[in-house]
Amino acid sequence: MSIASINPATGAEIKTFTPLTDAEIDQKLTVAAATFATYRHTSFDQRATWLRQAAQVLEDNKAAYAKIMTLEMGKPLAAAVAEVEKSALVCRYYADHGADFLADEPATTDASRSFVRYQPLGLILAVMPWNFPFWQVFRFAAPALMAGNVGLLKHASNVPQCALVIEEIFHKAGLPPGAFQTLLIGGARASALVADTRIAAATLTGSEPAGASLAAACGQQIKKTVLELGGSDPFIVMPSADLESAIATAAAARMLNNGQSCIAAKRFIVHESIAERFEQGLTEQFATLVVGNPLDEGVTVGPLATPDIAAELEQQVQACLDQGGNALIGGSVAALKAQLPAGLQGGNWFPPTILAALPPGTPADQEEFFGPVALVFRVASLDDAIARANDIPFGLGASGWSQDPTEQERLIAELEAGAVFINGLVKSDPRLPFGGIKRSGYGRELGRQGMLEFVNTKTVWVK
């Protein structure tokens, strides 16, 4: 079965690739293991130089890389350019700070000398998603490579060109050929890979089923995993909030990446005293969005990445409407397609949609809506808002809007999430650890904490 690159805006096939054979995979693992034997002993200065060169390659070619990204998964071109730039940023961040993060840490004990040393684990398998096809990879690769590990990338099967280009970027930067390799294989073969003794650990960003499958396979082999899975992030707005700023940020947060982001705000939990104004303002913001070919200037919302994602989202929205929910804007795929040119009719389209007045028991209560759909809930108090926010299987990020210091502290303390942003959009930042709790996964990426996930924290005691 081939791996295909398909333009989600048109449905047209761009290019197909033949998956690696078992023998070809084995050869790549052999090369990776041989590379690790020497790469682990390279200096921090040398690794930092390679990462800075990777950042330069990214920046020098950002227009070309962004176009590949947009053609394969549909994000607006300007957003794709920004993603390439952010990927360069994370390379430079770990080049600048990695050596300090991994420096020996002295400890006072009964020994003449005792300290903690951080050493690389070896070959790390990264199973990465399509929605941020560059950023997700580089936020793993930069700290892993700086720590002395080598990377094996099993990317999402709908972004094979991105996967191959990323491998090429590291080669252009001067890293040894086996330090970072792409494995063009289907998802079903990823979990089986971790049985190979040469692979030391694995990380996955993606769906709950994929994460559970990889974690189970690694558990059988007693290998470390880091998982970043789904999210249905709450966006709480209280009466003291700067409502104009909250509304503008709400629209941006929900439409990020055509609505296909784990940390996008999805559930808007608004105090009833300001709910009508919030709903009106958010509807006005959504009405200004431009849906169309993501390669075109001015387009702010492109297609969903695959037909299956679009179909699932349509089923979720229709179920909400059938059960009594109200669409303040959008909701009809047919109405949107009627406005699109003939060349885009085969794409995976969904209109920017706001669902409100949602009764209990709809999919909005417990499911993640992975697309441009905002779910608005009215609450009577901060207690109700926090309870609603936490009543979900996920715990990735949360955004709280309030100018009241007491309310802010309660939001920080009581929201069940890996990150809480007050009066701001939830986002990943190389300087801060990133990850979730509950069914959103475990472990951390980014920051110093993310770098330490894939090292041996070795205690040293000398008499």
Q: For 233, list phi and psi in degrees, rounded to 5.
A: -65, 135
Side-by-side strand order, sheet with 224-228: 180-182, 150-154, 123-127, 199-205, 224-228, 441-442
Annotated catalytic residue 91: no
Please provide the distance, in angstroms rounded to a whole number, between the alpha carbons at the two ends of the chain.
60
Helix, strand and coil percent figures for the chain, each rounded to 5? 45, 20, 35
Give dist(CA 361, CA 347) in Å, integer: 31
213 residue type, one letter:
S
Give dist(CA 36, CA 42) in Å, integer: 10
Catalytic residue among 91, 218, 262, 320: 262
Q: Tell me the Cα Rg of the chain.
A: 23
Catalytic residue among 167, 228, 368, 407: 228
Distance of CA 277 to CAs 44, 230, 265, 283, 326, Å? 54, 30, 18, 10, 16
Give dist(CA 412, CA 399) in Å, integer: 10
Give dist(CA 130, CA 347) in Å, integer: 17
Give dist(CA 3, CA 183) in Å, integer: 12
Give dist(CA 90, CA 94) in Å, integer: 6
Annotated catalytic residue 262: yes
Between vectors from CA 126 to CA 121 and to CA 128, what angle results, nearest 5°? 160
- Positions annotated as catalytic residues are 228, 262
